[in-house]
Structure 1
Amino acid sequence: MTKYSLELKLKAVLAYLEGVDSFSTVAKQFNTSLTPLKHWVAHYKEHGIEGLMSTYTNYDISFKMDVLNYMNDFGVSSTHAAAVYNIASPSTINKWIKQLEENGVGALETNKKGRPSMKKETKKKPVEG
């Protein structure tokens, strides 16, 4: 379950976009901190309500490189790139940057998580001759 419901995110974003109150006032009103609210507003501006929906995505290496190249080509922040590419958290992109700098492109390859499957080994019958 997500920390903030879609309904709360949408209400907070719309309250801010009305232009009456500041980020900090709206954040206090909805009992959230400033940073998530700013992210929600940016995502909403780029993608509408879909930008506020929580999703778990396993990004492939080409997508990660597209995002990093976009940042490099246009000189934008990870927050801006996260909004454009609908990535839930800019910290995800910051992690990719660190992996790339420390270990190269191969570090961006997705690793399988969890236990390996418990497939039964098939026994080969000895060939009688």
Structure 2
Amino acid sequence: MTKYDERFKRKLVEQCLSGTAGPKSLARTHGLSHSQLRRWVAAYRSHGAAGLRKKFSHYDAEFRYAVLQRLWRDELSYTQVAALFDIRSPGSIGVWERRYHAGGVDALASKPRGGSRKMAAPISPEPAIPVDDAQRSREELLAELEYLRAENDYLKKLDALIQAKKLVAQKKRG
């Protein structure tokens, strides 16, 4: 995704607000989507030049819940609520809403990023107790024989494919 600097955004927003060009034509000439330009205009109207600056913020569960309550109470769109609360990504509000419906207010809390700090101890499989062939049933022995034959056939086929690839590679070189 292309990042635009604050001066560029402000120039386009001011052109749009002054009426010299419409948002669709202005966005088309600069290779933007008109919805992106409309979001910039809405953010500028609500928060001034600060609405166009880069913003790196994390929202707590209370703030997210307040945003959702306002969304539902006033029947606003994600874009409108994002402009009101100066949230740069309206799509994140939809994610919050789905989380809320799935798990309530507790699901709105941020989850820590990354994996666990401690490496889990490897689980070693319990070694199979060797059983003497004389004690095994005929069906068990036949099943093992069938398995070993299939494994042997597979390995032979794999070896043949590898040899064929080597032969083709040699023909291409020479």
- Where does the alignment leave 5 or more consecutive residues of structure 1 unmatched? 119-129
**TM-score, normalised by the number of residues in structure 2:** 0.63
Q: Assess if the C-alpha contact under 8 Å between 1:8 and 1:30 holds in 2.
A: no
Q: Which residue of 1 aligns with 2:76?
A: 76
The higher radius of gyration belongs to: 2
Secondary structure of residue in 2 paired with 1:57: coil
Secondary structure of residue in 1 paired with 2:38: helix
Alpha-carbon distance in 2 for matches of 1:33, 1:52: 16
Asked which structure has the greater RCO (Cα within 8 Å, sep 6+), the reply is: 1
Q: Which residue of 2 aligns with 1:104?
A: 104
* Structure 1 position 89, deviation (Å): 1.2
Task: Give the counterpart letter for 2:54 in structure 1.
Answer: S
Task: Give the counterpart letter for 1:74 in structure 2.
Answer: D
Which structure shows the bigger proportion of residues in helix conformation?
2
**What percentage of aligned pairs have identical amino acids?**
32
RMSD between superposed Cα atoms in Å:
1.8
Alpha-carbon distance in 2 for matches of 1:100, 1:60: 13
* Structure 1 position 79, deviation (Å): 0.4
Q: Greater shift after overlay, 60-69 or 19-28?
A: 19-28
Aligned length: 118
Alpha-carbon distance in 2 for matches of 1:32, 1:59: 28
Q: Assess if the C-alpha contact under 8 Å between 1:79 and 1:90 holds in 2.
A: yes
Task: Give the counterpart letter for 2:88 in structure 1.
Answer: A
Task: Give the counterpart letter for 1:95 in structure 2.
Answer: V
- Where does the alignment leave 5 or more consecutive residues of structure 2 unmatched? 119-174
Q: Assess if the C-alpha contact under 8 Å between 1:16 and 1:23 holds in 2.
A: yes
Q: Assess if the C-alpha contact under 8 Å between 1:12 and 1:30 holds in 2.
A: no
